[in-house]
Chain A
């Protein structure tokens, strides 16, 4: 076994450990994310494997790939990517998420570079990645076009951009806001503003304007009978995910 050091202040660690436990509690506050996570990971891993010609049945299939997760939270996507062998940077604009994610990565024995920064700042610093994960963020930003342009700049030529968000229609209002926030209390009230939701066609147009080539889109569909999520080719009516490439 080899030992590594952390930069986290020891006085804060207990608090961060408690917050990390909260992020990773499958029945806790982030339950909806945990339920959706296998679906998101299935889509992400399949897209990356397809684009970079990797075999997911081999150990560490993403070795050599540099992946950025924007809005990394507690590291629910960063840790799987690191486990698959990628060099992972997790960025979050919420400062308090960073030490929490760091503590959990250490508990998991994973080496992940977590930073308190934004896509725009990293793009300005000239950082580049093979893959940018942009999951459930675009519906929260002030200017989607400038945000997506920053994401495009963060990609190496030929790089892959995966972006998921929520559609805008009466059904998505009922499901995402009335259902998830008001009835189920899965999400705090006010988590989403419906008028910030983006339709798949609008998102494709925005990505093209930002210099990205959209190549795929799929729905994430919740089945209230099996109480689980599935990837759908046709039903993009509420949650959906897209893949786009930066021209080589």
Chain B
């Protein structure tokens, strides 16, 4: 500044962290760990206070982790912390049925023995995953966690991005990642609009204990009001995801536990003996929301902030972890080439990688739901025929199994079980 006539003072940037992540649920911490592993400093900001994030009780929420997701968790040191509490899914049975009538004779059966990679996936409770992520982040010196702070503003410049927290603190980084859910404030502040629609359906979610063992078999019943999934948890417990029309779901959810179970029993059937509730009950309105862009200046969106899909196939977290693996690989390879990891040319590669997959998944899930949540006799006959065909053809069946295991498409390295 000695000579103002030769102005254009520039500053060698120092960053608080290479990467700023808004949202400390599951995808955000997964990305933080993957990036720290390749030598990048990361700050994870979450609006919830630390104590709330550490809650130990089983609240009934759990995830169906596809094999590809399990590989990613293994690569970032999470799997070893949750493996003892994970239930492998060895078979998936898909049946078309009407409550009270029992399943139709047409069904599909997917057995992991038909593919060489192992179980199609694992059921893991939310509390174990959350705890494992918090512990792993605390053990990683390159990760800074900020809990109980809300982001009020963000700003991207030619060489940095900054966020302003509600206590006035400003943090800078090379790239900002929005991992803050389907109502992402990070996306909104960047002016990214969303496309989406509701289904007039609400998912009822709970965990049940049952008398007989499930033997690692997951069931999906397609019933006119919507699908019912029974997913095996450890011990004689299963996670239930069950969809009804919005009004019906409201009515059922308002019932006491005993009456709620009375509604569930005929849908569930008695093949696992009597059932009782094993955790809290949740409702989630089913809707689909996709960000019109997954990137903006020095910003990338992951998980539900990018795409909230209908949870029918349990693909929400799996799709989010696929974003994590793709973004971690894109940014790490760019950094090793000496590229600016927050630059448009780098972030475009991430968007290109993920947007096609996401659109396919969203449309397939949507079409699947519209086809199966229907009591039209013609559609019913058609889907029964379709399931019969899939089940009869081993090649097609293996394709579905690999799809369910998350092994199709342009798989990021972390999901192939390889380091970046």
- Chain A interface: which size bin? 20 to 34
How far does the alpha carbon of A156 sit from the alpha carbon of B338 in the complex, in Å?
23
Whether, in the assembled complex, B9 has its beta carbon less than 8 Å from a beta carbon of chain A, the answer is yes
Within the complex, what minimum Cβ distance (angstroms) separates B174 from chain A?
A: 10
Which residue of B is nearest A35, CB measured?
A: B345
Whether, in the assembled complex, A124 has its beta carbon less than 8 Å from a beta carbon of chain B, the answer is no
Task: Indicate if the CB atoms of B1 and A3 lie closer than 8 Å.
Answer: yes
Q: Which B residues touch A66, using CB under 8 A? A: none
Which residue of A is nearest B12, CB measured?
A: A109
Task: Indicate if the CB atoms of A79 and B340 lie closer than 8 Å.
Answer: yes
Q: Which B residues touch A8, using CB under 8 A? A: 6, 8
Considering only residues 19-40 of chain B, those with a C-beta below 8 Å from chain A are 38-39
Within the complex, what minimum Cβ distance (angstroms) separates B331 from chain A?
A: 13
Whether, in the assembled complex, A83 has its beta carbon less than 8 Å from a beta carbon of chain B, the answer is yes
Task: Indicate if the CB atoms of A38 and B337 lie closer than 8 Å.
Answer: yes
Task: Indicate if the CB atoms of A10 and B6 lie closer than 8 Å.
Answer: yes
Whether, in the assembled complex, A108 has its beta carbon less than 8 Å from a beta carbon of chain B, the answer is yes
How far does the alpha carbon of A7 sit from the alpha carbon of B9 in the complex, in Å?
10
Task: Indicate if the CB atoms of A26 and B13 lie closer than 8 Å.
Answer: no
Of B7, B13, B336, B348, chain A has the most CB atoms within 10 Å of the CB of B336
Q: Contact string, B1-21, partner A, CB cutoff 8 A, digits 1/0?
A: 111011111111110000000
How far does the alpha carbon of A235 sit from the alpha carbon of B35 in the complex, in Å?
34
Task: Indicate if the CB atoms of A38 and B339 lie closer than 8 Å.
Answer: yes
Task: Indicate if the CB atoms of B336 and A37 lie closer than 8 Å.
Answer: no
Q: Which A residues touch B345, using CB under 8 A? A: 26, 34, 37
Q: Of the candidates B2, B159, B337, B349, which one forms a contact with A45 in the assembled complex, judged by CB atoms under 8 Å apart?
A: B337
Whether, in the assembled complex, B256 has its beta carbon less than 8 Å from a beta carbon of chain A, the answer is no
Task: Indicate if the CB atoms of A83 and B11 lie closer than 8 Å.
Answer: no
Chain B binder among A56-64, A143-151, A170-178: A56-64
Which residue of A is nearest B13, CB measured?
A: A109
If the complex has contacts A26-B348, A45-B336, A83-B340, are A1 and B5 also in contact, measured as CB distance less than 8 A?
A: no
Task: Indicate if the CB atoms of B11 and A3 lie closer than 8 Å.
Answer: yes
If the complex has contacts A37-B345, A84-B338, A107-B158, are A3 and B39 also in contact, measured as CB distance less than 8 A?
A: no
Q: Which A residues touch B13, using CB under 8 A? A: 1, 109
How far does the alpha carbon of A10 sit from the alpha carbon of B349 in the complex, in Å?
35
Whether, in the assembled complex, B344 has its beta carbon less than 8 Å from a beta carbon of chain A, the answer is yes
How far does the alpha carbon of A9 sit from the alpha carbon of B345 in the complex, in Å?
29
Task: Indicate if the CB atoms of A6 and B8 lie closer than 8 Å.
Answer: yes
Whether, in the assembled complex, A233 has its beta carbon less than 8 Å from a beta carbon of chain B, the answer is no
Task: Indicate if the CB atoms of B6 and A5 lie closer than 8 Å.
Answer: yes
Q: Which A residues touch B5, using CB under 8 A? A: 10
- Chain B interface: which size bin? 20 to 34
Task: Indicate if the CB atoms of B344 and A6 lie closer than 8 Å.
Answer: no
Whether, in the assembled complex, A106 has its beta carbon less than 8 Å from a beta carbon of chain B, the answer is yes
Of B338, B348, B349, chain A has the most CB atoms within 10 Å of the CB of B338
Which residue of A is nearest B40, CB measured?
A: A59
Q: Which B residues touch A107, using CB under 8 A? A: 10, 158-159
How far does the alpha carbon of A101 sit from the alpha carbon of B8 in the complex, in Å?
14
Within the complex, what minimum Cβ distance (angstroms) separates B13 from chain A?
A: 4
Task: Indicate if the CB atoms of B158 and A108 lie closer than 8 Å.
Answer: yes
Task: Indicate if the CB atoms of B12 and A4 lie closer than 8 Å.
Answer: yes
Task: Indicate if the CB atoms of B10 and A106 lie closer than 8 Å.
Answer: yes
Whether, in the assembled complex, A41 has its beta carbon less than 8 Å from a beta carbon of chain B, the answer is yes
Q: Which B residues touch A84, using CB under 8 A? A: 338
If the complex has contacts A3-B1, A3-B10, A26-B345, are A108 and B337 also in contact, measured as CB distance less than 8 A?
A: no
Q: Of the candidates B9, B348, B349, which one forms a contact with A3 in the assembled complex, judged by CB atoms under 8 Å apart?
A: B9
How far does the alpha carbon of A84 sit from the alpha carbon of B340 in the complex, in Å?
11
Q: Of the candidates B3, B14, B158, B344, which one forms a contact with A5 in the assembled complex, judged by CB atoms under 8 Å apart?
A: B3
Q: Which B residues touch A108, using CB under 8 A? A: 158-159, 340
Within the complex, what minimum Cβ distance (angstroms) separates A62 from chain B?
A: 8
If the complex has contacts A6-B6, A58-B39, are A83 and B338 also in contact, measured as CB distance less than 8 A?
A: yes
Q: Contact string, B145-179, partner A, CB cutoff 8 A, digits 1/0?
A: 00000000000001100000000000000000000
Q: Contact string, B334-360, partner A, CB cutoff 8 A, digits 1/0?
A: 101111100011001100000000000
Of A42, A57, A107, chain B has the most CB atoms within 10 Å of the CB of A57
Which residue of A is nearest B345, CB measured?
A: A26
Q: Which A residues touch B11, using CB under 8 A? A: 1-4, 109
How far does the alpha carbon of A5 sit from the alpha carbon of B10 in the complex, in Å?
7
Q: Which B residues touch A41, using CB under 8 A? A: 337-339
Of B2, B3, B7, B348, chain A has the most CB atoms within 10 Å of the CB of B7
Considering only residues 203-244 of chain A, those with a C-beta below 8 Å from chain B are none
Within the complex, what minimum Cβ distance (angstroms) separates B343 from chain A?
A: 8
Task: Indicate if the CB atoms of A80 and B344 lie closer than 8 Å.
Answer: no
Q: Which A residues touch B12, using CB under 8 A? A: 1-2, 4, 109, 111
Which residue of B is nearest A85, CB measured?
A: B338
Of A7, A59, A80, chain B has the most CB atoms within 10 Å of the CB of A80
Q: Of the candidates A6, A7, A42, which one forms a contact with B337 in the assembled complex, judged by CB atoms under 8 Å apart?
A: A42
How far does the alpha carbon of A109 sit from the alpha carbon of B158 in the complex, in Å?
10
Within the complex, what minimum Cβ distance (angstroms) separates B420 from chain A?
A: 9
Q: Which A residues touch B340, using CB under 8 A? A: 79, 83, 108
Which residue of A is nearest B334, CB measured?
A: A38
Within the complex, what minimum Cβ distance (angstroms) separates A101 from chain B?
A: 14
Whether, in the assembled complex, A81 has its beta carbon less than 8 Å from a beta carbon of chain B, the answer is yes
Which residue of A is nearest B3, CB measured?
A: A5
How far does the alpha carbon of A81 sit from the alpha carbon of B337 in the complex, in Å?
8
Interface residues of A (CB under 8 A from B): 1-10, 13, 26, 34, 37-38, 41-42, 45, 56-59, 79-84, 103, 106-109, 111
Interface residues of B (CB under 8 A from A): 1-3, 5-14, 38-39, 158-159, 333-334, 336-340, 344-345, 348-349
Ranked 8 nearest A-B pairs via Cβ: A80-B338, A106-B10, A41-B337, A84-B338, A109-B13, A83-B338, A107-B158, A56-B336
